[in-house]
Structure 1
Amino acid sequence: MRSTPSSKGPLALWSPTRSPISANGSRGWRPPLWGRLTIRCTSSIRSGHISVGENEGIIYVNNIFPHRLQWLLRGPLSHIQPLEGFLTRVNNPELAAADPTRIVQRAFPGELGLEIKEVVTRYKEGGAFVKYALKSDISNEIIQDAIKEHLKTNPIRPWFNPILKVDADLVRGTPWIEDLYRIPSQTLKVEFLPTSPDNSAAELTQESLYSMFRPYGKLLDIQTQPSDSKVEPRYAILRFERPRFAVMARNCMHGFIVSEEAGGGKSGTRFKINYERKIKLFMIKDWILNHPRLVIPAIAALIATITVIIFDPIRTFFVTLKIKSSYQSEENPVLQWVRKQASKASMFPFAKRKSDPRGLAAIWDDRQTEIAQLRAWLTETAETFIVIHGPRGSGKRELVLEQALKEHKYKVIIDCKQIQDARGDTAKISRAAAQVGYRPIFSWMNSISSFIDLAAQGMIGTKAGFSETLDAQLSKIWQNTGVAMKRVALEGRRKEDKDFNMSEDEYLEAHPEMRPVVVIDNYLYDADDSVVLDKLTEWAAGLTSANIAHVIFLTTDTSFAKPLSKALPNQVFRTIALGDCSLEVGRRFVLSHLDAEAGDGDDEQNAKRKETLRGLDYCIKVLGGRVTDLEFMAHRIEAGETPEAAVDRIIEQSASEILKIFILGTESVAPQWTREQAWYIIKSIANSKDGNLLYSKVLLGDIFKDNGEATLRALEQAELISIGTDKGFPRYVKPGKPVYRAAFQRLVANKTLQGRLDLLILSKLIGNENSSITKYEEELRVLGSLPKYPWELTSRIEWLLRKVHGSQAKILKYESESAALSKSLQKEN
């Protein structure tokens, strides 16, 4: 492989002179003795070392390959065996003047007459090891000095970087030839090893290390191992200014044995040198694993931040779309034309044109005052809640949505019943999001995040914050909804408007008609679910205080003031109480629903209708003015039943519901009342003249002695009864629905049921009196155990004796009534 450099071929190396200059200053070229030179890499890698004889030496030549070539060796071609051969063919002198043999030829001065035996290339580190044979009269140090002087006089610049120069130095140690995935860096880790297992190594000082490694390049820092460190073997960290300096130092000093004179101890110390990366991936991994209390919450915060940045604008857009969709569909001229054509009798001759399919016109005519009042409140600038309360079936939702807000642009309807009926936090979040159009919602991720939080809590002792509570999720949903509503309210602003210079808050305050309306239906449906109610009330208070929207609450619970006062403590609630309609309005409602107004049809048809509607006034009186019951009766009459039969069906159905919920189902659901208390109310109302009971009289009954007011409130919440007020104070106890009085009477008419439940009441009363006697007797026993009979206790003892006597008299009375009832029940067939 003898070759002579040529200046005429394509050059991959550049030198400031056209031809090399020898050591004695004469021009020309005197090549060293190359013999049977071979370029080896694979064989040396397999053995790990270069075999060196007695009269042989090794020089390391640096900067003859690009330092960044290692990406190719660790990439897709890392397992190809003939890679070095492939690179040799690419570096063929005929194709490119980058052959390592030619570089080595130019690096060695010709007057030395060295015999080069082997060149081991190191593509990963950008250099090559050159093994040569020594002459008897020349030492390795002389050869090193001659080569350095020759390269200083005749610099060789690589083709890939003309700024660098080819450098060479004597290999003093035993180089390790490896192809591990170790990228050269400017930092070296020098470990101090013993020369044999029986000996010990010495730890070199910074001064000694500096004198040994400074000739290879500028050192930035030398860090010795801390004295209290238990890590073995001992080591030092050397940081060079350039990676090529570290490459030269490692290849020349790895395996070098420091003598005793140089500070290596009695038996000497051997160097083991490896590249040390400045920032190690495994150090980052170890830090993450060793600091989960910091890392896991930080990751959770990062995920939350990314989620807010990416998904919040999308969710706000969809909420805005949901708010505007109903109004846009109402304004769409195509949809309006389709509805108009579909309602015409000419298009569908068999269809009956009907603008009021439910026949509620009579109800709305009677409630025009409430409708006008509600519309007026929506045009005022006052910051307050609007509460519409009334029993179920009184038409609250229809009055607000179909009458008061019929012409209003933007509405948001939130049904608490749908949210609170959902099982589990995930379902509640999904339903709340669906009602306002909040998407995408990854509710299923909450369960997975909960498991991650549980695992993190077991590992670090606290939750990581991956999963969000129901409280936080609802806050996010309604907060985005508020942002969308404010955006919708401000869309009407124009630059040509007189008040365009106002701020957004001032504009919203001055234009209440531009604010959307939030209708919260079934408020206080489940008062025990405080999370949903508290967040919803707090959010609604924020909307009204910021003038973003009007808020209307629809509720059947008369105790709405307490939760609302927490959100707006200094505001007055504007309320509309909807009760049952009058009998006259109820009659007109049924007739309009049946299209049975007087004057329709001929005389024969009118007579037939009058026959069918005979007794209608009595039936309406029994049902009262509850809209849902009247509508159900009208449907049954349309189906062919008589009014009496329809009312009887309603009464029977109501009696069955009362029996199931308030009497037979008390043990399974464990409500705040007992079956005896419910039956006492049912029987008392059924036997009363006007269907009302005095509130104070009910509380004075023996069966309501304990928690009487709480029991009545619970029964009112369950809609068995309703409590009427007089000047703000409870006065009357009435049936929850007008038809319930007839249902109560039907239940009481069942003598068997009445006898059984009366027996239970008597048994309960006897038990209460026995408990009272036991307490009185216990106190008498304590007083009787005193050593002397003090006269001051005479009145107390007499009082206790009278109480015992009174309770015993009641027991005798109750037992007598119980015996009579038992005898009566035994006589029944």
Structure 2
Amino acid sequence: MQAQRRVFFNPTSLPCLRAQRPQCRNFYNSVSTRRVGLKHLNAPGKWRGVRRESTETGEDLTGHISAGPNEGILFFDSKILSKANEGHQLIVYFFIDIFPIKLYWALRLPMRGGGSLSGLLWRFNNKALRPYEPLTLVKRAIPDSVPIKVTEILPRLKDGGAFIKFQHPQGMTTKEIEGLVARYLEENPINPWFNPFRRIRTNLVVGRPWLEDLSRFPSRRVKVEFVPTSPGKEAAELSQEMLYSLFRRYGKLAEIVTQPSDSKILPKFAFLDFARLREAIVAKNCMHGLKILEEAGGGPSGTQLRLSFEKKIEAHWIRDWLVSHPKVVIPAIAALLAAITVAVFDPIRTFFIKAHIDHAFHLTDNKLYKWFKSQATDIFTSRSSMAEGVGLGAIWDDRKEVIDQLQTWLLETADTFVVVSGPRGSGKRELILDQALKGRNNTLLIDCKPIQEARGDSATISAAAAAVGYRPVFSWMNSISSLVDLAAQGTIGVKSGFSETLDAQLGKIWQNTATALKQVALQCRKKNDKDGNLSDDDWLDAHPECRPVVVIDNFLHKNEEGSIVYDKISEWAAGLTTANIAHVIFLTNDTSYSKSLSKALPDRVFRQISLGDITPEVAKKFVITRLNEEPSDATKGGEKLTPHQRRRDLEELDECIDVLGGRLADLEFLARRLKTGQTPKRAVAEIIEQSASEIMKMYLLAVDTGERKWSQEQAWYLVKSLAKNNSLRYNEILLSNTFASSLSPSASNGENVLEALSAAELISIKTHNGRPQTIKVGKPVYQAAFKLLTEDNVLKSKFDMAILTELTKVETKNINKYETELSMLGNLPKQPREVGPRIQYLLGKLAASQSKVEGWEKEVGVLKKVLASEY
């Protein structure tokens, strides 16, 4: 009697393999039950002696199958064994696909089954099989013409098949039997019930398979160990060529990996990677235990092959694949991150931009806040607010025509592209926001100054995002992604796509803003309207009053050639107007704005508004209203006097305003000085002195001249000329020696110099019919400041001497040029008659230049005396 054993899983637990006759079996003493035998082939009607039960672990739980004389084991598979070794007791291994290999995971489940295999043979030999049972395939695969008798069936769920042990007559080898079965299956193909596209074929076992029921499952990788045939002997390590010749018959080999030569691991081994799983299963079961003799390359004492399935586990294979394919992985990650950003963050950013345009989160626009503010204002600052309103009201009354014109343009259906130009301090921003757009909620103000002055791409992106309410913004990621992109480019040779250019990131911000502006414009649309069936574009074209207004302030501030910020803003604004999404108003101090805007809208005419200085009457009224903001205790006839009524020095105000002009910034400065108790003349004198100091620092002194596009001599020439005349001819200045022959490389082009000085507001250029005509001072107060500077004899002598020195150098170069040409003509072997006029011309030029140099040197001598004698 065998020892008791516990059966964890048995194939007969499947309904299709369970014996039909009921059996009474003790689960924990299964080996004590005698199974029903099989009638012997040579003694019909008699029963053969019963052997002990054989399960998936082999006979007697040894893991091996024994075969006596004239016995063999068949195993059916979808591949046929082309060659087989013959011996006295061969085990023929027929592998039939009666179980799907993909279901081997079911063996991992904690199932327990009982039952016996004794009924399988009885049902097989007595044809007690149903058509859908897996054993039917085994029955069909063995034809009646083959003289064999099946003596035992061992299902192998892990391998997806079953062992078929049979007896064959004497005089016939197992190879001949395999050939008969294989030929029959070729002529009569049989397909498994679970895979109709695969045919069953036979394979012959040439080794001694080990049938274990461990939790080891098939894999495409087979480990071949080279062990000695007996203890104490040495095994030979087979070469790749020999392994290939042995195992290629079972299927295509993807790779053969031998043990490293310096490895100390025993026994020696090699890995065989098959292309298909079933081919690896057949090879493992057919070749396990095969002995390679000395004449076949197995060494002096022979070598035995021990096969086992090896999980082809690559440690960190995902990481290794990602690292080994950076050209694919890095752009894919960049695209994935971009997609996530668009899908997740873009709707959030559009929401915040809409809230910024609608002022949804602005506390100052809240009705309750406005009520409290009005109550507090009425109590504490009502008088000053009323005075301020009166003062500004006078200015707006003077410019009412401009305000009405702008409001009319915003109601027209045509593309609205308005440019409001004027010098700094002319009140452009207050005119648009406080008057023309007063009470309008759907407005967006974009100040270009902080965007242009931001240093670095990250700061520029943050400033642009803050201007439109674009959040969240990860500007700090730009630096990190740039480093990653640089590292990837150095590694793989191409850009990874993580980092984006400033142009692309600004484009994203403006694109999201355009989407939000369109949604704000369509908020007024209702389905019940008579034109509710129109498309979005047609509805926006028909309702210009619903479009938001985008105000772009400080456009072309610190204008630089090739500025990305201004180019992107102008292109984006052009797209808004052409698509009827919004009205766009540009506020600029630069008179050359048409060059930048014409690139974005080359086929459109801009609607322009030019703001100048206010009239003297309005300027005086503005200063007086500012002065009246201060309370006064003086009375006359029982009535309180306003500050301007009790001050007698305000009679000087008319003369002072003529000097300051109508620039709002200067008038505001004058009003603040008058409030401190200064007289108008004293206040104006200090303003002029301050302006003169600014001119010296910004235009004349040689401090930080790296970014200047003009020379000191050119700036002083304009200061001295405008101090004498209120206006200068544009072309006359260009023809002067200081502008036509400047030695400074950055100031060699006179037109560029004048344009740069106009942008810096030292001068202003007036046009006529589109061409520059006259040059005037940049600010009215500069006229008096220029006169103050020219009255300084030392300063005047210094800069005049610098101009004369530069002119002397220019003429000296001309003299050298004339002398060189005359020397060349004088060295000719003969003096032709034709060179006479040229020589006379050069001599005249030489004499004129020499005369100029002598005159300038005399003037320089006088100026040096002034510098040496005066402070």
TM-score by length of 2: 0.73
Report the CA distance between 1:457 and its aligned residue.
1.1
- 1-structure distance, mates of 2:241, 2:762: 94
Question: What are the superposed Cα offsets for residues 77-125 of structure 1, whole Å, 9 maximum, x if unpaired?
Answer: xxxxxxxxxx9xx88xxxx557xxx98999999xxxxxxxxxxxx9999
Q: Which of residues 328, 348, 354 in structure 2 aligns to 1:320?
A: 354
Superposed counterparts of 1:615-694, under 5 Å: 615-665=652-702, 668-688=705-725, 691-694=726-729
CA RMSD for the aligned pairs?
A: 5.1
Partner SS, residue 787 of structure 1: coil
Matching residue within 437, 440, 445 for 2:477: 445
Q: Does 1:761 align with 2:764?
A: no
Alignment match of 2:402 (pick from 350, 370, 375): 370
Task: Output aligned runs, 1:531-570, within 5 Å.
Answer: 531-570=564-603
Q: Is the 8 A contact 1:327 1:409 kept in 2?
A: no
Structure 2 counterpart of 1:417 = 449
1:697 equivalenced with 2:732 (yes/no): yes
Structure 1 residue 694 displacement after superposition: 2.3
Secondary structure of the structure 1 residue equivalent to 2:764: strand
**Which structure 1 residue ranges, 5 or more long, are not aligned?**
41-54, 74-86, 110-121, 130-140, 146-168, 214-221
CA drift at 1:12: 6.5
Partner AA of 1:32 in structure 2: R
Work out whether 1:595 is the aligned partner of 2:598: no
Specify whether residues 72 and 197 from structure 1 end up closer, same or farther in structure 2 by C-alpha distance, changes over 3 A only.
closer
Contact 1:199 1:267 in 2 (8 A): no
Note the C-alpha offset of 1:21: 3.0
**In structure 1, distance between residues paired with 2:818 and 2:655:** 54
2:792 equivalent in structure 1: 750
Distance in 2 separating the partners of 1:28 and 1:650: 131
The answer to whether the aligner puts 1:461 opposite 2:493 as a matched pair is yes
Contact 2:550 2:583 in 1 (8 A): yes
**Distance in 1 separating the partners of 2:672 and 2:632:** 22
Equivalent AA in structure 2 for residue 636 of structure 1: R
Partner of 2:421: 389
Give how far 1:375 is off.
Answer: 0.5
Q: CA distance change for structure 1 residues 825 and 33 in 2, over 3 Å: closer, same or farther? A: closer
Cα distance in structure 2, aligned partners of 1:618 and 1:474: 50
Native 8 Å contact 2:359 2:365 kept in 1: no
Deviation string for 1:332-384 (max 9, x for gaps)?
43233223322323xx4897553746932111110001101110111111124
Identify the match of residue 856 of structure 2 among 805, 814, 829: 814
Label 1:259 to 1:705 Cα distance change in 2 as closer, same or farther (>3 A). Answer: same
Letter in 1 for 2:371: W
Q: Judging changes above 3 Å, is the alpha-carbon distance between structure 1 residues 326 and 659 closer, same or farther for their aligned structure 2 residues?
A: farther
Structure 2 counterpart SS, 1:576? strand
Give the residue type in structure 1 aligned to 2:568.
Answer: K
Question: Identity across aligned pairs (percent)?
Answer: 47
Q: Is the 8 A contact 1:67 1:124 kept in 2?
A: no
Task: Tell me if 1:223 matches 2:252.
Answer: yes
Instruction: Determine the C-alpha separation between the residues in 2 that align with 1:23 and 1:5.
Output: 26
The C-alpha deviation readout for 1:100-158, integer Å capped at 9, x for no partner, is xx98999999xxxxxxxxxxxx99999999xxxxxxxxxxx9xxx9xxxxxxxxxxxxx
Amino acid of the structure 2 residue aligned with 1:605? L
Shift in Å, 1:695: 2.0
2:242 to 202, 205, 224: 202
Relative distance call for 1:3 and 1:277 in structure 2 (3 A) is closer
- What CA distance in whole angstroms lies between the structure 2 residues aligned with 1:740 and 1:178? 105
Mapping for residues 230-245 of structure 1, pairs under 5 Å: 237-238=273-274
How does the TM-score come out when normalised to structure 1? 0.76
* Conserved? CA contact 2:331–2:496, under 8 Å: yes
1:249-306 superposed Cα distances (whole Å, 9 cap, x missing partner): 5366345346699999999887675658899787766654444333322332222122
Equivalent residue number for residue 293 of structure 1: 327
Report the CA distance between 1:2 and its aligned residue: 2.0
Residue 361 of structure 1 corresponds to 393
- Shift of the 173–28 alpha-carbon distance from structure 1 to 2, 3 Å rule, reads closer
**Secondary structure at 2:523 match in 1:** coil
User: What displacement does 1:39 show?
Assistant: 10
Q: Residues 255 and 273 of structure 2 are in contact (CA less than 8 Å); yes or no, is this contact kept in structure 1?
A: no
CA contact 1:381–1:510 (8 Å) conserved in 2: yes
Q: Structure 2 CA distance, aligned partners of 1:72 and 1:395? A: 86
Aligned to 1:78: none
CA positional deviation for 1:667:
5.2
Change (3 A) 1:203 1:764: same
- Residue 605 (structure 1) aligned with residue 668 (structure 2): no
Question: Judging changes above 3 Å, is the alpha-carbon distance between structure 1 residues 39 and 650 closer, same or farther for their aligned structure 2 residues?
Answer: farther
Q: Paired residue for 1:83? A: none
Gaps of 5+ in 2: 24-34, 41-45, 55-59, 64-88, 123-155, 164-173, 179-202, 228-234, 262-268, 742-748
The residue number in structure 1 matching 2:190 is none
Give me the whole-angstrom Cα distance separating, in 2, the residues matched to 1:568 and 1:261. Answer: 91
Question: 1:736-747 residue pairs with structure 2 within 5 A?
Answer: 736-747=778-789
Amino acid at match of 1:693: L
Pair 1:5–1:283, CA change in 2 (3 A): closer
Structure 2: which amino acid aligns with 1:821?
Answer: L
Distance 1:201 1:569 in 2: 76
How many Å separate the matches in 2 of 1:781 and 1:176?
112
Is the CA contact 2:422–2:612 (under 8 Å) kept in the aligned structure 1?
A: yes
The aligned residue for residue 16 of structure 1 is 19
Aligned to 1:344: 378
Q: How far apart in 1 are the matches of 2:495 and 2:866?
A: 66
CA distance in 2 between partners of 1:562 and 1:273 (Å): 82
Deviations 1:734-754 (A, max 9, x none): 111011111112222222222
CA distance in 2: counterparts of 1:702 and 1:417, whole angstroms: 36
Choose from 539, 544, 547 the match for 1:512: 544
SS at match of 2:571: helix
Q: Distance in 2 between matches of 1:482 and 1:683?
A: 50
Q: Equivalent residue of 1:551, what SS?
A: strand
Displacement of 1:406 after TM fit?
0.7
Question: CA 1:353 to 1:777, structure 2 compared with 1: closer, same or farther past 3 Å?
Answer: closer
C-alpha contact (below 8 Å) 1:414/1:519 kept by paired residues: yes
Whole-Å separation in 2 of the counterparts to 1:350 and 1:363: 20
